[in-house]
Amino acid sequence: MFLILFINRAGRQKRLKSKIKQKNPNIFSKLLMKLTLDNAIAPIFVLIWSTGFVIARLAMPYVEPATFLFWRFAGVLAAMAALSLVWRITWPSWSQIKHIAVAGILLQFGYLLGVWFAVRLGMTAGLVAIIVGLQPIVTAWFAAWISEKVSPRQWIGLGFGFAGVALVVVEKIGFTHIPLASYALAFGGLLSITFGTLYQKKFCPVFDLRAGSSIQFGVSAALCFICMYLFESGEMVWNPSVIGALLWAIFPLSIGSISLLFMMIRKGAATKVTSFLYLVPPTTAAMAWLLFDEPFTLLMAVGLCLTMTGVVLVNARQANTVATIAE
């Protein structure tokens, strides 16, 4: 009896969907495409963002941090200039440009330079990953700044996420012979990307992504050039590893992942957006296992499961709307 009722109900739902599709084929197609895009953005962002540590491993022996980041940001600016010839860019007002620039200094320059210099001074990639992995918890602490409310369920999810990140990187952490300056730089990078996320959500959540990227990478390139001129030699060994790392850093990692991050920041709560960063260390560990034959143990697998559970708890029952490239 229950099976018959279920089949009849399923049949009515199927006929109803068919009528909707027949009456409004364009609306149905747009809705289906939007739902597919909603579900795809976060996983794609995590996969691309996770390659940052792989890029650092490939390029670090041949170039200093500010030098590499300068060429990376300059390459992004050149790509955005080329795109502006094809697509019309809507530039924001001067007051909004200043807010976008401040957010870019925090999200791009401060975060990346802090992480790269921490590794340069001797901090292990695993330790950097767990320090940066604290960002969702730090963001939740400061979420009241942008009038967000963190529910008990979300706090539990954040705890699961942190525990998962800790398990994934615990076997790779080496605390000896790491200078205090390296810790200061890593935590500085953590605070920089945290406050950058909150600042952008509060003061400039909506802008043309192409214009915003040009502003933020332009300011960051100028600051990296100053650091390169004052503190580094500016030399770069141009070999296949560095060239490949630079091209990947310019296009998928900078233009691709940053655009996806901006989309999520613009339409999602800051706590929800940053919770996806919990998936980065486990994903990075899996990439290192595939590319560099680094061990992927049972403990790491358990950590990955805990991390994914935490993300589900943080994001449950929340609306997720994806912004267009220009509004």
Q: How far apart are CA 20 and CA 291, in angstroms?
A: 47
Q: How far apart are CA 157 and CA 234, in angstroms?
A: 44
Structure tokens at 199: 């600042």
Q: How far apart are CA 213 and CA 73, in angstroms?
A: 10
**pTM: predicted TM-score of the whole model, two decimal places:** 0.74
pLDDT tens for 11-57 read 444 454 454 445 445 554 544 444 455 567 778 888 888 888 778 77
Q: How far apart are CA 215 and CA 95, in angstroms?
A: 13
pLDDT tens for 83-129 read 777 777 788 999 999 999 999 999 999 999 998 898 788 777 767 77
Scanning the chain, the segments in alpha helix (DSSP H) are: 2-23, 25-59, 65-86, 94-104, 111-120, 125-132, 135-141, 152-169, 180-203, 209-231, 240-248, 257-267, 270-275, 280-292, 298-315
Structure tokens at 212: 């915003």
pLDDT tens for 241-292 read 899 999 999 988 888 876 777 677 666 655 666 667 677 777 777 787 787 7
Burial (0-12, 13-18, 19+ Cβ within 10 Å), 173: middle
